[in-house]
A and B are shown apart, each in its own frame.
Chain A
Amino acid sequence: MDSKEYIASGILELYVAGALSEKENEEVHAMMQQYPEVLKEVLSIEAAVLGLTSATATKNTASVFESIKEKIESSINDAEETPIIPLKKERSGFRYVGWAAAVVFAVVLVFTAVLYNDLASEMEVVRSEQEALKKQIFKANSDLTAANELLEILRTKDIISVPLGGQQVSPDSYAKVYWDKKSDNIYLDLQGLPDPPAGKVYQVWSLTLDPLTPTSLGVIEDFTTDTDKVFDLQNTNESEAFGITLEPAGGSESPTLEQLYTLGVVNTTP
């Protein structure tokens, strides 16, 4: 193929466009070396395409080079300033030391983490145990105080002690009333009474015997939950006896005598 035909084929226009294969590009390049008129034609086509494409630039981008320059110069400087570390030397017998250290470090790290977790949960347990103990001590202290107070009261000279014996419904039952006439209080020790069945409560009565007149002193609502079974009630009556009956929850107007658990007469001559 002579150069004229070659030029007329239109391959050079595609060459400038970059639309040819690598092999075709090399062919064209060889033709350009061989035929000056082919080279000249390529330059003319390139000039035309440059003219066309540059005409589409709607913005002057001449100043953009400044930032391009900055970037490439900073990368040149970086390359110069970064010291080159000789890798060979480090790859001596010691090269595994780093890895070994890393492995040991990792193992220690994992171990420490596990240990830490264990300790943390252990501490949590200890902390809640401590909390529970504190509560217990506090409770014991207040129980002790209450017991001391009770003992103090029972030892008072003027306290009247009334033992209540078991009656027909519950012969094994017993109770004790300690009556402090000065403060109009009675202390009931109900240790000897069974837990009342569900829906029932014990009701405490003050009695005058002639004629037999019961006066309610109150119901024991929290019998089951109370641990020392000691209760205190107000009593402003001139009681001659005390009785305890089992009543429906909330108590009754007058005692259900069939359910009289304990009864005791106040000893008028102490």
Chain B
Amino acid sequence: MELEKLIEQFKNRDVKAFESLYEMYNDSIFGVIHTIVKNEDIATEILQDVFIKAWNKAEAYTEKKGRFFTWLLNIARNAAIDKIRSKSYKNAQQNQDIDFFVHSIESNDLLDEKVNAIGIKNYVNKLAEKCKKIIDFLYFKGYTQKETAEALEIPLGTVKTRNRNCISELRKALNV
């Protein structure tokens, strides 16, 4: 498989393979970081740090731990959350509304160049409030299943089923 090979090369410190992986994931990773820190310059800085960190601890990644994308996502969310807990960030920033990712998508001019732009924008438009929250917690904030259940005050099992429904709507919109 193409991805598996790239990851293998990346673990062997192949810069070209690393660049391919960067091309695949940089938008997503940047979007997630930006959703957390809500500042493009800071997010860009963290994006850089995240990929350098990934490079430096490439050996630590194994398929058993999860998807490579998920691994990157974890590094990115931790770095971004560290940043917003830092004093320098707290002094400069103000917290905004919870479903920031929805706002990002709706107001994203860059999206118009992308193939699935219409599907995504329609999906976000129609997205139920409870889906917005659960997606924000699980994918953008990196909450565990338990933390999500506690934050939304719903049973643990409901997190799984509700989230599956929300994501399956997304898959329909994106045709995947």
A87 touches B (CB below 8 Å): no
CB-contact partner of A51 in B63, B163, B170, under 8 A = B170
Q: Chain B residues near A17 (CB, 8 Å)? A: 70, 73, 138-139, 142, 163
On whether A10 and B44 interact (CB within 8 A), knowing A48-B171, A53-B31, A65-B26, the answer reads no
Q: Chain B residues near A144 (CB, 8 Å)? A: none
**B116 and A16 contact, CB distance less than 8 A:** no
Nearest 4 CB-CB pairings of A with B: A56-B31, A10-B160, A10-B164, A54-B27
**B44 and A45 contact, CB distance less than 8 A:** no
Mark out the residues of chain B between 84 and 116 whose CB falls within 8 Å of any chain A CB in the assembled complex: 101, 104-105, 107-111, 114, 116
CB-contact partner of A73 in B15, B28, B64, B145, under 8 A = B15
On whether A56 and B101 interact (CB within 8 A), knowing A15-B67, A16-B70, A19-B145, the answer reads yes
Q: Which of A21-29, A112-120, A178-186 contacts B (4 or more CB under 8 A)?
A: A21-29
- Residue in B19, B44, B171 with the greatest tally of chain A CB atoms within 10 Å: B171
Residues of A within 8 A of B (CB): 8-11, 13-22, 25-26, 28-29, 42, 44-62, 64-65, 67-69, 71-73, 75-76
CB-contact partner of B15 in A20, A26, A72, under 8 A = A72
Q: Chain A residues near B124 (CB, 8 Å)? A: 55
**A50 and B69 contact, CB distance less than 8 A:** yes
CB-contact partner of A46 in B26, B67, B114, B143, under 8 A = B67
**B69 and A16 contact, CB distance less than 8 A:** yes
Q: Chain B residues near A72 (CB, 8 Å)? A: 15, 18, 52, 55-56
